[in-house]
């Protein structure tokens, strides 16, 4: 990406100003789609190529939408994992001793997964 040009991570209130070569814009769009977990077909890639020919302010807003949608999905996923981990920890206090360790270990694993998902490392 060109120096100083970043994809905004929050709502965009004014028209972004900047320029990025077509190939860099194409890479930005494809990267945003990849990070969001979108599987692309040949026609999808053709449309990404077409979109890359638009002005930077349009392309960066679309890339920002994709990134923000992915971030919200990751936060929601992380929250669900944390809730399940909390339930398993609660249950570990009422289970037989041999099962407590397993439940606590699984709860710890879920919390680690939640942290990774919340950081956008995976869903």
Whole-number pLDDT of residue 73: 77
Of 17-21, 31-35, 55-59, 101-105, the least confident: 101-105
Nearest to 7 by CA among 48, 56, 60: 60
Quote the percentage of the chain above a pLDDT of 70.
88
Is there a contact between 27 and 21 (Cβ–Cβ < 8 Å)?
A: no
In sequence order, the 6+-apart residues with CB closer than 8 A to the CB of 40 are 30, 33, 48
Q: Is the pLDDT of residue 80 over 60?
A: yes
96-105, Cβ contacts within 8 angstroms, sequence gap of 24 or more: none
Q: Length of the chain in residues, anyone?
A: 123
> DSSP H helical segments within 36-123, as ranges?
42-52, 56-92, 97-118
> Model-level pTM greater than 0.85?
no
Provide the pLDDT confidence category of residue 76 given band limits of 50, 70 and 90.
Answer: confident
Q: Is the pLDDT of residue 89 over 90?
A: no
Nearest to 56 by CA among 33, 10, 34, 23: 23
């Amino acid at each position: 990406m060109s120096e100083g040009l970043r994809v905004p991570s929050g709502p965009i209130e004014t028209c972004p100003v900047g320029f990025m070569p077509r190939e860099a814009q194409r890479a930005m769009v494809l990267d945003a789609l990849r990070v969001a977990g979108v599987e692309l077909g040949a026609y999808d890639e053709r449309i990404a190529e077409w979109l890359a020919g638009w002005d930077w302010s349009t392309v960066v807003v679309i890339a920002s939408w994709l990134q923000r949608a992915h971030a919200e999905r990751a936060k929601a996923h992380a929250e669900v994992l944390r809730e399940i981990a909390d339930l398993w920890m609660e249950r570990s206090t009422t289970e037989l001793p041999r099962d407590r360790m397993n439940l606590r270990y699984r709860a710890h694993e879920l919390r680690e997964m939640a942290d990774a998902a919340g950081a956008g490392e995976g869903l």
